[in-house]
Amino acid sequence: MKHRIVVLGAGYAGAVVAGRLAKRLHRDDVEITLVNGDPEFVERVRMHQLASGQDLRPRPLRDIFAGTGVRVRIAWVTAVDVEGKTVDLGGETLAYDTLVYALGSVNADHGVPGAAEHAYNVAGKQAALRLRARLSEVRPGGTVLIVGGGLTGIETATEIAEARPDLKVAIAARERVGGWLSDKAQRHLRRAFDRLGITVHDDVDVTRVEADGVVTGAGGKIEAQVTVWTAGFTVRPIAAATTLEVTDTGRIVVDAGMRSVSHPDVYAVGDAAFAMGAGGKPLRMACATANPMAWLAADVIAARLTGRKAPETTIGYALQCVSIGRRDGIIQRVTPDDQVTPTVFTGRTAARIKEMICAGAAWGISHPTMLRPSRRRRLAVAGAAETRSLTRS
């Protein structure tokens, strides 16, 4: 029987894992199934562009993986049984020998009253399209408020302000918007906000979202016809409902090779995984994290199944990239453990670098077996023995 590898989720992490495994393992030995709810690969780092009215290139998953040996299943995962080694796809059961969990993250409202009912978000394609439709209804002079001063909030606010200069755009954050950036980067960001006419509300604690704006902890109100919630992400509850070891937020705890610390036949990558990076610090949820996690997990799985030594590496960072509309940006140099340095690129140069990085990531997904020259490996005796032991566990 072929070794059955099931990859859940075809975002950056899941799609990379599936393509990289198809490149490294012989299809006569393995059966790789990629499960995703959307029939297309979604460039999540461009959801603020989609929401602002831009059209993105469609990337059907079945076209991407045609000829690779990867079977694409369009279905929603409703449950995982890590003891029985099965996945529930809404009434249909899919069995696996090795599972790669890459179901990503969703918008987190942190339990703020009214956020789920009245606020929009850009955490996924359908959410971005809903916001896009709502913005198209807002007449000139209308007000839009973005809640959250991180990367997603900044990119969403600036993209909308650039695309719709007829609207009054504001951004609010519990601390200083973009406050983690270096001084030079923060100065550039503030100049960009001024240029785009974005009103900034620093040190504002939003305690309730209403249909016509938000209420703050100080008892004030910021009025808005459209409120966009970008104050963080959380994972789906599927992993937490299993016997996998997870954090208090539901992320799967993995070792240095992205392997579950409680179930050795399960790997987790992307936002759904809790892994330590350079300096012993947890890796953050980001595309910049998802890709190297996926590369490493695929290489570890392939090495173990073919009887080779699993690679040992520590994931670290180099840059934080922020788009400010289509013609401006910030490229913030960081240390491997994600601490900012004084080195910053801004303006059109930064925008070009950011676009090159985003386009490169999408190209890698669209060409899953061209990531790096390598010939496919057959399963070795050592790999087969490991497979049998995992099946018994």
Let me know if residue 40 belongs to a domain.
Answer: yes
Q: Give the span between the Cα atoms of 291 and 109, in whole angstroms.
A: 26
Percent of the chain with pLDDT over 90: 90
Q: Are residues 263 and 387 in the same domain?
A: yes
Beta strands in 220-264 (DSSP E): 221-223, 226-229, 233-235, 252-253
Q: Which one of 173, 200, 229 terminates a domain?
A: 229
Q: Is the pLDDT of residue 385 over 80?
A: no
Residue 190, both tokens:
């503030």
Let me know if residue 348 belongs to a domain.
Answer: no
Q: Are residues 95 and 223 in the same domain?
A: no
Q: Which one of 186, 204, 229 terminates a domain?
A: 229
Which residue(s) pair with 346 in the sheet?
330
Let me know if residue 344 belongs to a domain.
Answer: no
For strands 213-216 and 206-210, give the pairing. Answer: antiparallel
In this predicted structure, what is the pLDDT of residue 132? 98
- Contact indicator for 385, 307 with CB cutoff of 8 Å: no
Q: Give the span between the Cα atoms of 276 and 156, in whole angstroms.
A: 29
**Given pLDDT bands bounded at 50, 70 and 90, which one contains residue 386?**
very low
Let me know if residue 370 belongs to a domain.
Answer: no
Q: Are residues 221 and 139 in the same domain?
A: yes
Let me know if residue 204 belongs to a domain.
Answer: yes
First to last CA, the chain: 18
Q: Give the span between the Cα atoms of 324 and 372, in whole angstroms.
A: 32
Report which DSSP code applies to 46: G
Q: At what angle do helices 287-305 and 381-392 cross, to 10 degrees?
A: 110
Q: Which one of 199, 229, 259 terminates a domain?
A: 229
Q: Are residues 118 and 94 in the same domain?
A: no
State the total domains in the chain: 2
Q: Are residues 241 and 168 in the same domain?
A: no
**Residue 198, domain CATH:** 3.50.50.60
Q: Are residues 76 and 140 in the same domain?
A: no
Q: Give the span between the Cα atoms of 295 and 240, in whole angstroms.
A: 25
Q: Are residues 212 and 294 in the same domain?
A: no
Q: Are residues 180 and 251 in the same domain?
A: no
Mean pLDDT for all residues in the chain: 93
Q: pTM of the full predicted structure? A: 0.92
In this predicted structure, what is the pLDDT of residue 66? 95
Q: Are residues 309 and 211 in the same domain?
A: no
Range of the domain at 177: 109-229
For strands 213-216 and 221-223, give the pairing. Answer: antiparallel
- The three-class DSSP label of residue 179 is coil
In this predicted structure, what is the pLDDT of residue 91? 87
Phi-psi category of 94—alpha, beta or left, where left has phi over 0 and alpha has psi -120 to 50? beta
Let me know if residue 334 belongs to a domain.
Answer: no
Q: Are residues 252 and 214 in the same domain?
A: no
Question: Using alpha carbons only, how large is the chain's radius of gyration in Å?
Answer: 22
Q: Are residues 240 and 100 in the same domain?
A: yes
For 309-346, how does the pLDDT look when each residue is reduced to its tens digit (9 = 90+)?
A: 999 999 999 999 999 999 999 999 999 999 999 999 99
For 191-209, how does the pLDDT look when each residue is reduced to its tens digit (9 = 90+)?
A: 999 999 999 999 999 999 9
Let me know if residue 21 belongs to a domain.
Answer: yes
Beta-carbon contacts of residue 283 (< 8 Å; ≥ 6 apart): 273, 275, 276, 277, 289, 293, 315
Q: Are residues 96 and 152 in the same domain?
A: no
For 232-246, how does the pLDDT look when each residue is reduced to its tens digit (9 = 90+)?
A: 999 999 999 999 999
Percent of the chain with pLDDT over 70: 94
Which residue(s) pair with 4 in the sheet?
31
Let me know if residue 347 belongs to a domain.
Answer: no
For 3-33, how does the pLDDT look when each residue is reduced to its tens digit (9 = 90+)?
A: 999 999 999 999 999 999 999 999 999 999 9
